Amino acid sequence: MRSQDASVTDSLPRSVPTVDAAVRMQAVFPGAASPARVVIWNVYGDAVDSTAAQTALDDLKRRIAVPVTVVEVDHVVVVRVPLPGSGTDTASNPGVAKELRDDVLPATLGTLDGIGIGIGYAVAGRTAVAHDLTSVVAARTPLVFVFVPYS
């Protein structure tokens, strides 16, 4: 079983003018259609504006090595990170799972936990939701076979 939240370009034929335009835009501006959203907050409710947090955010942008958009919303910072692929294919998932969550975020924002700043972060967006759902379903499916009686 392969679960996915299919993008419009995967669901409709290329002969549809809108799909053709979307495919061509994705080729020129990869990752723009379904970026990952890294949400950063201060666990104490304050703004994410300390010098150490700004340094970590600059390091995050440097390590990602693609143009990102940074938006402040109240006391939260949202970083839009373009992902390879369509956002719903196998090229996009490693960007969320391995690169952002396992490597880049712990090496940048994760270093702030030990110095008392209290920064929290999470990865959201269409690709992250589909990846997380697939991971949970795959991990819990064996329980169905154990606990559901056979008729």
pLDDT per residue as tens digits for the range 111-148: 876 555 678 888 888 878 777 888 888 888 888 888 77
Asked whether residue 74 is domain-assigned, the answer is yes
Output Rg (C-alpha) for the chain, integer angstroms. 18
Asked whether residue 5 is domain-assigned, the answer is no
Asked whether residue 14 is domain-assigned, the answer is no
**Torsion sign, CA atoms 63, 68, 72, 77:** negative
Asked whether residue 6 is domain-assigned, the answer is no
Q: Which residues contact 50 (CB under 8 A, 6 or more apart)?
A: 117
**Torsion sign, CA atoms 25, 30, 36, 40:** negative
Asked whether residue 7 is domain-assigned, the answer is no
3-state helix, strand, coil in the chain (%, to 5): 50, 15, 35
pLDDT per residue as tens digits for the range 17-35: 887 887 777 676 665 567 8
Asked whether residue 15 is domain-assigned, the answer is no
Number of structural domains in the chain: 1
Asked whether residue 110 is domain-assigned, the answer is yes
Region 66-76: what's the mean pLDDT? Answer: 86
Q: What is the pTM of this model?
A: 0.70
Asked whether residue 52 is domain-assigned, the answer is yes
By residue range, what is the domain housing residue 46? 30-144
- The CATH number for 88's domain is 3.30.70
What is d(CA 46, CA 74) in angstroms, rounded to the nearest whole number?
Answer: 9
